[in-house]
Amino acid sequence: MNGFLVEHGGMQSSIQDAGRVGVSDIGLTQSGAMDEYAFGYANLLLGNPFNTSVIEVALGGMILRARGNFSIALCGASMPCSLNGESIELWQTYTLKEDDILSFGFATSGNFAYIAVIGGFLTPLAYGSFSTSIKEGLGGVEGRKLLKGDFLACESRVLKNKRKVENPWLPIYAKEVVLRVVLGYQSDFFSKVQHNTFFNTPYMYKGEGDRMGYRLSGEKIVPKATGILSEPICFGAIQIPSHGEPIVLLKERQTIGGYPKIGSVLCVDCFKLAQLRAGGVVKFEVIGLEEAGAKARAFYRFFLSSKLS
């Protein structure tokens, strides 16, 4: 059978697509690719639909052996990568043959890289998605991270021409990111002084994070109400727990929560946050709802309608 045999799973590699939609009412998290920009380009390079399953490599260390002949695309974090011991670049396609070895070192900037194949990986759907949710035991290879001996089947399809993402579109995984925030009704729980503090002082990401969310360290802000009735939580919601430091909730966030939220980070900026390394700096700025919606629509319109020749 055609596909990849996992020789080493790395730090935490898993099968992901764009995630589950419409399942929060039964308590299931969204899951999905942490950086949809790199994920989207990996699929675009191969002519796949946007929501096609890939391997998400977190931090690095993964080693795969090819079974059969097929084309792949590699995008995402700056991880040393080699094919049969020879260094190769990300953000382009390669064609593999039987017994080729694809190896990843550990990321020097960014956190997540993506391996796509034509047509995606042939794993079972779970609630409308191929995405692995480890805490729920759903998707991927029995709902867990990839381990030595796992086999990931795919179609034996090869591109006629090599493709790559040109330099103007390559992201820079900077040590400082600006996150645009749509204010919510709970922003009224915070005083003008606290708003000024939040939007005019930097926060640091010290590595206290995972696929559920990233906790940031810096100036504390304490809302008038330290607890509210539990309510649904959106992607990018900024919770302010009693310790006063913000937590930006990401792909495997809880479905409901009772901490006040000053607002929500624009979805496309959450993808930048996902790639921020420990020690990186975060600054927040306000964006209007209409402008935020326009930017989100433009992002998905590009990946849903673009084709590479």
Look over the chain and give the mean of its residue pLDDT values, rounded to a whole number.
Answer: 93
Note whether 32 and 164 are within 8 A (CB): no
Question: Would you say the pTM of this structure is higher than 0.85?
Answer: yes
Instruction: Give residue-wise pLDDT tens across range 173-197.
Output: 999 999 999 998 888 888 899 999 9
Angle (CA) 22-254-217 rounded to 5° is: 135
Q: Which CATH fold would you assign to the domain 176-305? A: Cyclophilin (2.40.100)
pLDDT at 264: 96
Angle (CA) 26-32-33 rounded to 5° is: 165
pLDDT at 176: 96
pLDDT at 9: 95
The candidate with the shortest Cα–Cα distance to 270, out of 179, 185, 139, 155, is 179
The answer on pLDDT for 136 being more than 80 is yes
Domain residue ranges of the chain, discontinuous segments joined by +: 3-169, 176-305
pLDDT at 1: 81
